[in-house]
A and B are shown apart, each in its own frame.
Chain A
Amino acid sequence: MIAPAIPPVIPPAPARLLRHPGPVARERFTVLSDGAARSFRVRLPEGASLVDALVEAEEAGAGSEWRGSAAFAILHGSLAPCVYCLAVRDPSGARLVTYSPMRDAGTVSVQGGAATLGTGLDGKPLAHCHAWFVDPHDGQVAGGHFDTAATRIGPGGLVARMTLLGDLDIRQVPDAETNHAIFSPVGHLGGVQ
């Protein structure tokens, strides 16, 4: 199968490249692969926080206590409450962008999104989640970066496709370039590089 031809597009203005506060890392793509990934359909139950529900799903899929990494494609369901933010310019100048104050959208119907489950700086499970949703009252569409501890699964649950990333070790690491702590593939849990 061959990729279809893409019609040329002339953008109205060139894309901007930003200069982050720290030294530019030599490596521009950090990539690891695994041949033992497994996929599951999961329905996360109402009531749990989003991060706890993702950990529970990972444990159920792996058949063991939480140890590793998973990628979730969020399909549909509800969140209550849905606590999220957007990215805005950092007024302090410590970094280029930071998170806006959190917003509570109440109970929402989720239409799609993605989440990565890995290990945070503190060694505990950490979820990074972006998703989009519809306000059930006015039909308004919104989306953003979720507070996965404050956000909880709503009535009817949340359905996702979960991919267990084999033995890939995804960890939050400090990034000097952006001055953020960022998920990065750091190795394989079995110690194989």
Chain B
Amino acid sequence: METKELKSIASQVRRDIVRMVCECNSGHPGGSLGCTDFLTTLYFDEMKHNAANFNMDGTNEDVFYLSNGHISPVWYSVLARSGYFPVSELSGFRKLGSRLQGHPSTDKSLPGIRMASGSLGQGMSCAIGTALTKKLNNDDSIVYSLHGDGELQEGQIWEAALYAAANKVDNLISTIDYNGRQIDGDLEDVLPMGNLVQKWQAFGWEVLEMDGHNIDEIKTTLAKAKSLVGNRKPIMIVMTTEMGQGVDYMMGTHKWHGTTPNEEQLTNALGQLEETLGDY
């Protein structure tokens, strides 16, 4: 897909995100906006998947796990805009009876979701499990996972990191949303993570870096990552992003991690984001 077209979809996804969290006065816009360009490119350009006919087993399809489940708004929007479920359903986000739970879940059978997430640190292990099943099934499609940088503070991530490298889980492409911020403040103040690239390299992973807001770079990096599948190493992409990307007053701070805009702030945000596909 042309970069221009992906940018256009991303703009609509960002509108969906701010409208969803404003409508229920709840949810996490900051990380969602920061991962919009990546998830839009992944689903609309890079992943092999079947939105019209979702099946839990994901046989012969690429499978994606969102480990940092709190950025559910961006995932829900991308899934709906890809055709997994009606766009109109986005308005139910976090409301009683909706399939769009605060954090992703399989409980209400929302197409596109294969695992609950929200309690951090578990998605990489889940992705490894599915990657191993794909190998047993001689299914050569890929498993993707996305993680927050703060999430790397969970010990289970490093259990998974050890396992994947030691066992050459080379059909897994994980990405870290490296925005340097978490709820309580900057990563550097809460718990500095050191050099992430060197850390993952030291754990035996193939490490790539990219600017998470440059769609051309996301495309070439994902293409490069896919070319490394089968190379006896798990693949990690350290993706630099800006929390709140696309809405000026949400950028440059951790404040909008889990804070929602009021009506006035929403109008301001929507003024910065072109409506390209029609609001839900």
Q: Do A and B bind each other?
A: no
Q: Could you list which residues of chain B lie within 8 angstroms of chain A, going by C-beta atoms?
A: none
Q: Could you list which residues of chain A lie within 8 angstroms of chain B, going by C-beta atoms?
A: none
